[in-house]
A and B are shown apart, each in its own frame.
Chain A
């Protein structure tokens, strides 16, 4: 706790120091998740953007710690200009520490962007899916109900330790129509119903907390099936020669957004970059490198059929899928997470 307090002070102190001097005028600092994902973003977005506009891109990494952005904005020393972030957008938007997006200034048609948010431009969506190892389970699960079917599929199953996705799936498996999920989850009875459904498999759940864990759990045979992000499973199949299968039924899409921390001195360049990276061609280039659904719907037409077959946005995969409702979670995450944590640790 003391270390944490010190950390926050350190953050504030380092934010107070005039680091800005280090940045030249024509430089844009873009922050993303690091790893292979960011390397591919570099190829698909950052490099072409610099080549086209002459604006140099400095890259940084984060892991979704919204506190970093808050510290920057509140001490008025914003050195991040564009941030690729996911779920935290709801809380940051509510707290007013990221810009509200001006679509006119972007010059883009908001209708082309499916998961749009008032504070962010959708860049890509990973699908939360169920995956299993075909080498161990020849006749694997087909629907989300199979995740909860201990008779048909005995053994442990991996799930993400977060109320998000799990509560939605529990309701769908319990017979709620996929499009009514948030309506039902918005009522106390609906929440009870979801937890009751999760109760039925509680003993057999292995909880994971980072995206690298599900492929590992499957490969080690720790679980018979696991929830996972589709890109990680694709990667294990392509690069590690695993025979993992994805169940696309009831896939839940979590969107990633380009966001602009409030108070950046390079607001115009930030808009320029987001506009550039949201063009269909740039998005199609990215989809070819990482199998996530492009934010701009027009990009889908530009990818080849083989790539498309791996994307969450392939017509076949979209039949029974749902965007995670960020407005709902923005309002209810705090409370549901507390209940979920209490439930998990009892």
Chain B
């Protein structure tokens, strides 16, 4: 709201009207801001902060720096070629003694175990034994306590611990890891999984989006042109699905699609099939159930845009000699594009974060990124990995949104 700067000379209290107007304006803005403030705070606390924290956790891990202060300092002069010298081993023994006393050896072991399987229990037992060492030389003693202290890669790992930031989680999320000299190498093929998972998540999301568009567009069209009484009734049917929880709707698919479920039994009774078709616990079941759940999210924006398109446009095109298809394609369809873009974007982004449906009706080959985020968060307590996977998914989503915006122009999208 721009204030017009008009000076009216000789106002009664000597304050120019322009200033007065500005004051009123400022007060109104402040009041509006005060009303929005709770929401802003809410969004900031529950949304921006956790996401920021997550992005940070994906690269920040100071476990080794905090819990092994002496070793990490002593390692700063290690050249990384042979095993470190006695001084470093003495520092290690000191740190492990302290870790044993403060019961933090488990944390150190857990952290090291992420990168080198099998070290967790060795660190713990080393800490227990180190606490009985009273004097040096420590090098031979520590290697005798556990052979891991004679391994070069263990020391490389500890040296990387000197920084409170690590790329380990992000690297592993794209199937890379640190080699024995801290060089970045590809994960062994039998362990490489995350690139597949990201591509699969993307593929399923695109597939579901396309399916909802194919099914939703004609339906939205029918709803838009039917007389209100019929279309309202049909609309109720679509909105009904919002009254049922996603979990229930997904489980219903299990009942319908399983080997001895409704569909297979019917087809077998009718002798169309001789043995049950595999409809569930695979990609087909996943895409089908997700399409069912996402359909209204694609349909509603398209419908609301279609409602606002005047039927006169097509009528005019027809009267000017266009055939029915030409009139639809050249006059009607372009006007629905903002609705299609909005619906597809909504569905696609929601699909990227899908979790329950693939877990229930999908097979092991249909696990999506969120599934792994949940496992790492709840079961394996590896929050670094969960954060890294989440951060990558978020970045990919924002990137896609950016590209989409360049292509379609989200500003053009209007919900009706």
Give chain A's interface residues, CB within 8 Å of chain B.
1-6, 8-9, 64-67, 70, 88, 91-96, 100, 161, 186, 195, 206-207, 220-222, 327, 330-339, 341-346
Contact = CB atoms under 8 A, between A and B. Distances in A.
A186 B353 CA distance: 36
Interface in B353-404: 353, 355, 363-365, 367, 369-370, 373-374, 377-382, 386, 389-390, 393-394
B374 A95 contact: no
B109 interface: yes
B124 A343 contact: no
B265 to A, nearest CB: 12
Interface string B26-49: 000000000000000000011101
A94 B51 contact: no
The CB with the most chain B CB atoms within 10 A, among A1, A96, A332, A346, is that of A1
Interface stretch (B7-15, B99-107, B221-229): B99-107
A64 B193 contact: no
Contacts of B380: 91, 333-334, 337
B190 A95 contact: no
B120 A330 contact: yes
Contacts of B381: 66-67, 70, 91-92, 95
Contact of B382 (A221, A334, A339): A334
Nearest to A221: B260
Nearest to B49: A9
A64 B54 contact: no
29 contacts: A1-B353, A1-B369, A1-B370, A3-B353, A4-B373, A4-B386, A5-B53, A6-B50, A67-B377, A67-B378, A70-B381, A91-B381, A92-B381, A95-B110, A96-B103, A100-B103, A207-B364, A220-B258, A221-B260, A327-B121, A330-B121, A334-B113, A336-B117, A338-B193, A339-B190, A339-B191, A342-B196, A344-B365, A345-B196
A296 B162 CA distance: 46
B51 A2 contact: yes
Contacts of A341: 193, 364, 367
B323 interface: no
Given A65-B379, A88-B379, A332-B118, A1 B46 contact: no
Given A65-B379, A207-B363, A331 B50 contact: no
Nearest to A90: B120
Interface in B50-70: 50-51, 53-54
Given A4-B377, A5-B390, A344-B364, A331 B118 contact: yes
A220 B260 contact: yes
A9 B382 CA distance: 16
A331 B120 contact: yes
A8 B190 contact: no
Given A66-B378, A94-B109, A2 B353 contact: yes
B119 interface: yes
Nearest to A186: B118
Given A4-B377, A66-B379, 6 more contacts: A1-B370, A67-B377, A91-B110, A96-B106, A335-B191, A342-B190
Determine the main DSSP class of B at the interface with A: helix
A331 B117 contact: yes
Contacts of A65: 378-379
A114 B106 CA distance: 23
A6 B113 contact: no
Contacts of B119: 331
Interface of B: 45-47, 49-51, 53-54, 103-104, 106-107, 109-110, 113-114, 117-121, 124, 190-193, 196, 258-260, 281, 353, 355, 363-365, 367, 369-370, 373-374, 377-382, 386, 389-390, 393-394
Contact of B124 (A9, A94, A195): A94
A344 B196 CA distance: 13
Contacts of A186: 118
Contacts of A344: 364-365
Nearest to A95: B110
Contacts of A66: 378-379, 381
A342 B369 CA distance: 13
B256 to A, nearest CB: 15
A342 B192 contact: yes
A43 to B, nearest CB: 30
B117 A95 contact: no
A94 B190 contact: no
A9 B386 CA distance: 14
Question: Which 10 pairs, one residue from A and one from B, show the smallest C-beta to C-beta distance?
Answer: A335-B117, A342-B193, A344-B364, A5-B50, A94-B106, A96-B106, A1-B390, A65-B378, A345-B365, A9-B50
Nearest to B359: A209
Nearest to A63: B378
Nearest to A91: B381
Contacts of A3: 353, 355
Contacts of B191: 335, 338-339, 342
A198 to B, nearest CB: 13
A335 B121 CA distance: 15
Contact of A222 (B107, B193, B259, B379): B259
A64 B379 CA distance: 7
A5 B51 contact: yes
B379 A343 contact: no
A221 B46 CA distance: 48
Nearest to A262: B103
Contacts of A331: 113, 117-121
The CB with the most chain B CB atoms within 10 A, among A6, A91, A339, is that of A91
A82 B336 CA distance: 60
Contact of B106 (A88, A93, A336): A93
A343 B50 contact: no
Contacts of A93: 106
B192 A1 contact: no
Contacts of A345: 193, 196, 364-365, 367
A330 B119 CA distance: 10
Contacts of A336: 117
Contacts of B47: 2, 6
A100 B100 CA distance: 12
Contacts of B379: 64-67, 88
